[in-house]
Amino acid sequence: MEKKDFDFLTDKVAAFILDSNRIVVFTGAGISTESGIPDFRSPGGIWTKFDPDDFTIQKFMSSEKTRRMQWQMMAEGSLLKDAAPNQAHHAIAELEKLGKLTCVVTQNIDNLHQKAGNSPDKVFELHGNMKFVRCMGCDSRFPVEEILKRLDKEEIPDCHHCHGILKPDAVFFGESLPQKALNDATHHSRNCDLFIVIGSTLIVYPAAYMPMYAVEAGAKLVIINLSSTPMDSKASALIATKAGEAMSKIVEKVRNQLPA
């Protein structure tokens, strides 16, 4: 993208942010790749290394062998990459500090928005969070580090409250999305005046309905993504560049125009 086009588009998006009162940021795998986390579907992604069938909720719940394999992968770090937030995550966190963010709706399971400084109660994780483990029996939630410590002595840890099956708190194939996160994301998408997509191809549903809800309600749509999406024709601004580069420039322009 030529510098004059980039400057024009980032000016435009900064102006949208300054003029808006209810801003939703929606993030997908394309923001996390800049922190070194491969997209699940891309070369080097998780589905090139593991069988997606082993990540169905039915197989996890019914097969002790599958659970043992997944805990072994967790212990080895195959599923948990200790990545750091990048420029884009920090820019989104700064939008919150500047009072220009209602919430983040994310398809990512890496906890990087919270690490960057976004309030956990403003981050709606549609596909869960691999930094936590949930009991399928009593619904207790534990930090993953707490459970990983037990793997020296236990191949398949269970819940110490009810002895139920423990599962990484990410959404598996065949599993429903967390209802509260989905309800909150839907509500804010339908009631925002600006919806900013960052790093999502908008092809995974029901998450990809969120920008549709926003546009139907009359919100402006901004898409920052390296490839095209099915919603491009509805966007008021399209920026086909890296998330970190675009968001850091946009937020810098917003910061410079807000009253001190």
**Cis peptide leading into 157, omega within 30 of 0?**
no
Q: Around Cβ 40, how many Cβ atoms within 10 Å?
A: 15
CA distance 166 to 67: 9
CA distance 237 to 220: 9
Choosing from 89, 90, 113, 127, which is the catalytic residue? Answer: 127
Q: What share of the chain is helix, strand, coil (3-state, %, to 5)?
A: 45, 15, 40
How far apart, in Å, are the Cα atoms of 79 and each of 1, 198, 224, 238?
A: 34, 23, 27, 32
Does the annotation count 127 as an active-site position? Answer: yes
Catalytic residues: 127
